[in-house]
Structure 1
Amino acid sequence: MDIKKYVIEKCRLAKNASRKLSYTGTLAKNKALLNMGKALLKNSDYIIDENKKDVKNARNKGISESLIDRLMLDDKRIENMANTLNDTAALPDPVGEVTKMWKRPNGIRIGKMRVPLGTIGIIYEARPNVTVDAAALCIKSGNAVILKGGSEAINSNIAIYNVISKACEESGIEKGAIQFIDITDRESVEVMMKLNEYIDVLIPRGGAGLIKNVVKNSTVPVIETGLGNCHVYVDSDADFEMAENIVINAKTQRPGVCNAMETLLVHKDIADKFLPHMCQRLKALNVEIRGCDITRKIVEDILPATDDDWATEFLDLILAIKVVPSIDDAIEHIYKYGTKHSEVIVTNNYFNSEKFLKEVDAAAVYVNASSRFTDGGQFGFGGEIGISTQKLHARGPMGLNELTTSKYIIYGDGQIRE
């Protein structure tokens, strides 16, 4: 196979479809999304059978159970994907929204209107649900999408793509609006990164290596989705029961995702009282704990934490714990090791909560809630393309609005410039 020629043709078809899709009406797009959701449910057995092949291959390769959990599909998860499509259909359509309008002294009226980005390339790893999330958000926001999933989920992604693309086209959406590159050769990614003629923006989702490669080598504009070295800081004025529940949820609910906590910071004034029971609960849930010197004096049978541990996104049931002298030291630690994704403070002190909100630089900053809420669905966006940790042009969970840009519309009645 001529990989370059194959990828270019996929991208060309998407680019051609994007023109008509950009002005397709809301009702037509919603109809397609609802039909895609029905098709997923109708074909769930087929999708699960294909997913089992990927899960088997992952286990044979020795991939951790937490990462396999990200890969695995069942009836409930397929139902959730269908709900994502339904929820996205129910959201307001951003395309065509005039966000601002003003009148100049010469009588010209100038407005700012939301329009699609055009053709979006998504390069992602072992998360089959991304196939649905990306397709749903792109179709609703009037963008054609080129999906390039990782080898770990290739069978699952092909099955999902076959189902939703057929339903989308049968609903009247322009043929080619959803494309999937069904080869795992890395050359296909290298080709995509140079196709400025066809792709308007690339969004990489996955590990550090993938993201770094795309950001460094792409000539197509990139929206960088970041790694999630997320922290929970338990302040001296924290409610212990609340803090324990937030820590347990942030670390163990789904440890293999980017919004899971990787480091727990605890104020020195409460460490003696808080850490023993906290660590007992974590150990009962099979969490491997790596602690600083102070933590290891308070809690027995835990491993020493290294400098590398503070900077690591474990994506597993592993947690680093550090006792800090003050909230300023906690913020400094986050500044040094964080990835600007999601950061949490647990406190009943209003001034400390406001200080944390103001001084911590991250896409999402929480007071008394789990970092696991950094998610497009949880934020009410229907789904998400990814969590952007950069500042241009989007930050945090990227929903429909983040998949649009703007153009100026100008109304006159014959004005000419002097």
Structure 2
Amino acid sequence: MNEYILELGKKAKEASKKLAIIDTNTKNAVLTAVAKALIEKRELIKAENKKDLEYGKEKGISSALLDRLELTDSRIDGMAKSLIEIANFKDPVGEILEGWKHPDGMQILKQRVPLGVIGMIFESRPNVTIDSAGLALKSSNAIILRGGSDAINSNKVLKNIFMEEGKKQGLPDGAVQLIENTDREIVKDFIRLNKYIDVIIPRGGKGLKNFIIGNATVPVIETGAGLCHIFVDESADIKKAIPIIENAKTQRCSTCNTIETLLVHENAAEELLPELSRVLAGDKVELRADEKAFEIIKKSGTEVKKSTKEDWETEYLELILSIKTVKDIEEAITHIDKYSTQHSEAILTENLENAEKFINEVDSAAVYINASTRFTDGGEFGYGGEIGISTQKLHSRGPMGIRELTTIKYIIRGNGQIRK
């Protein structure tokens, strides 16, 4: 076991004991102080971020990944705003979920408590450092962060600001730590640190998640894989549908809640696809379509490629959209069942029966009727941010806010009772 990782684990475990009993006012004071410091030190943050952006350009990483990496003024403001929102939330720790009296007279309480130590592994987006640290603190968890090498300078400056300001307000040493060694081999030891880490949360691409799931001995909550779909039913309002689809694909294409595949009822294809393809062409979206959709789009004069089987399986995270025509809602649901990562799916329809069928039969964390999948986000759901979008069912699903970073403990108060 790597000594560097062991030391991080020990410090986090020690910090988690202190965080478990830290008061709400102290947590909120830390969050408020860090939010203020982010605004005051924005030029320092952007200078460190610029180093990562320049390195990324030298490496030739895609424009979509560079977008995920960049910290603009508005994104720094967004991080600060998120911390203030988290500070304003009711503290989940210590909440009594329910209570009852045992026949022998004991009082049994079900109480919310922290998970303990969270291991967070993520790629590209340095704002995750602040979001995750803030959510971990408000739920009284210690956190060890491991970001990608492409964002190391950004992650370091953000972690340092959080801890420097936090310690002034009473945050214990080791509450928020960053693995600064960018060697990938070190991750193997990190995800096997059962003695000190309670849960690993990976937030990134398919390759990262497969590696962690295949090698971790610490429990894992999978987040972020987003092969999302929109199905346009034959009853859909086309004028309403086009801006929804455009938003879901182009508003920020590098995120996990962006759609990658559009399913179109064959009876709606002739009306929808010519106008939609022109709109998306204006957004520089590359279209990859099945035979029927290809012919319709080609006739409209828009550039289009023929899709392959691999397109239905691909999370692009770029301005690429695959399009498939289906004969009915059953075929659409079957396709989603086969290829979805169970993140977010939407149906565009004016048929109430089909809407109900879709939301009842599609097994994803978030299912929409006549709205963009881009809303699957902790901030949009009122959580002040999220540590990830869980695509599994245990112990959390969908955007993971502060309550999803807790577990429960039973408190039993007796007066000499023994079991007979």
- TM-score normalised to structure 1 length: 0.98
Note the alpha carbon deviations across 1:263-288, whole angstroms, 9 max, x for none.
00111111111110011100011000
Give the Cα separation in 2 of the matches to 1:241 and 1:91. 38
Match of 2:211 in 1: 213
Match of 1:384 in 2: 386
Q: Secondary structure at the match of 2:65?
A: helix
Give the Cα separation in 2 of the matches to 1:173 and 1:64. 38
Give the Cα separation in 1 of the matches to 2:290 and 2:121. 37
Match of 2:345 in 1: 343
Q: Secondary structure at the match of 2:97?
A: strand
AA of the residue aligned to 1:348: E
Q: Secondary structure at the match of 1:236?
A: coil
- The RMSD of aligned alpha carbons is 1.0
Give the Cα separation in 1 of the matches to 2:214 and 2:178. 23
Is the Cα–Cα contact under 8 Å of residues 289 and 303 in structure 1 kept in the other structure? yes
AA of the residue aligned to 2:118: I
AA of the residue aligned to 2:364: A
Match of 1:148 in 2: 146
Give the Cα separation in 1 of the matches to 2:206 and 2:76. 28
Match of 1:289 in 2: 287
AA of the residue aligned to 1:205: R
Deviation at 1:104, TM superposition (A): 2.2
Give the Cα separation in 1 of the matches to 2:401 and 2:370. 24
Give the Cα separation in 2 of the matches to 1:348 and 1:111. 47
Match of 2:29 in 1: 31
Deviation at 1:206, TM superposition (A): 0.8
Q: Identity rate of aligned residues, in percent?
A: 53
AA of the residue aligned to 2:355: S
Provide structure 2 residue ranges, at least 5 long, that are not aligned to the other structure: none
> 1:189 pairs with 187, 195, 206, which one?
187
Match of 1:137 in 2: 135
Match of 2:273 in 1: 275
* 1:25-104 paired onto structure 2 within 5 Å: 25-104=23-102
Deviation at 1:187, TM superposition (A): 2.1
Note the alpha carbon deviations across 1:142-183, whole angstroms, 9 max, x for none.
000001110010111011111111111111111111111111
* 1:372-411 paired onto structure 2 within 5 Å: 372-411=374-413
Give the Cα separation in 2 of the matches to 1:292 and 1:351. 27
Deviation at 1:226, TM superposition (A): 4.0
Deviation at 1:6, TM superposition (A): 1.3
Give the Cα separation in 2 of the matches to 1:145 and 1:309. 37
Deviation at 1:67, TM superposition (A): 1.4
Is the Cα–Cα contact under 8 Å of residues 231 and 262 in structure 1 kept in the other structure? yes
Give the Cα separation in 2 of the matches to 1:303 and 1:291. 6
> 1:116 pairs with 103, 114, 126, which one?
114
AA of the residue aligned to 1:321: I
Q: Secondary structure at the match of 1:299?
A: helix
Give the Cα separation in 2 of the matches to 1:112 and 1:66. 45
Q: Secondary structure at the match of 2:2?
A: helix
Match of 2:308 in 1: 306
Deviation at 1:353, TM superposition (A): 0.7
* 1:160-171 paired onto structure 2 within 5 Å: 160-171=158-169
Is the Cα–Cα contact under 8 Å of residues 340 and 361 in structure 1 kept in the other structure? yes
Give the Cα separation in 2 of the matches to 1:55 and 1:239. 42
Is the Cα–Cα contact under 8 Å of residues 234 and 265 in structure 1 kept in the other structure? yes
AA of the residue aligned to 2:342: K
Note the alpha carbon deviations across 1:344-400, whole angstroms, 9 max, x for none.
001111111110000001011111111001111111111111011111001111111
Q: Secondary structure at the match of 2:105?
A: coil
* 1:244-283 paired onto structure 2 within 5 Å: 244-283=242-281
Deviation at 1:106, TM superposition (A): 1.9
Match of 1:413 in 2: 415
AA of the residue aligned to 1:31: A
Give the Cα separation in 2 of the matches to 1:208 and 1:146. 21
Note the alpha carbon deviations across 1:29-59, whole angstroms, 9 max, x for none.
0111110111111111001001011111111
Match of 2:372 in 1: 370
Is the Cα–Cα contact under 8 Å of residues 226 and 339 in structure 1 kept in the other structure? no
Give the Cα separation in 1 of the matches to 2:69 and 2:241. 30
Q: Secondary structure at the match of 2:261?
A: strand
Provide structure 1 residue ranges, at least 5 long, that are not aligned to the other structure: none
Is the Cα–Cα contact under 8 Å of residues 347 and 368 in structure 1 kept in the other structure? yes
Give the Cα separation in 2 of the matches to 1:37 and 1:4. 34
Deviation at 1:228, TM superposition (A): 0.5
Give the Cα separation in 1 of the matches to 2:287 and 2:125. 27
Is the Cα–Cα contact under 8 Å of residues 231 and 264 in structure 1 kept in the other structure? yes
AA of the residue aligned to 1:39: A
Q: Secondary structure at the match of 1:382?
A: coil
> 1:203 pairs with 195, 201, 204, which one?
201
Is the Cα–Cα contact under 8 Å of residues 163 and 171 in structure 2 kept in the other structure? no
Is the Cα–Cα contact under 8 Å of residues 33 and 89 in structure 1 kept in the other structure? yes
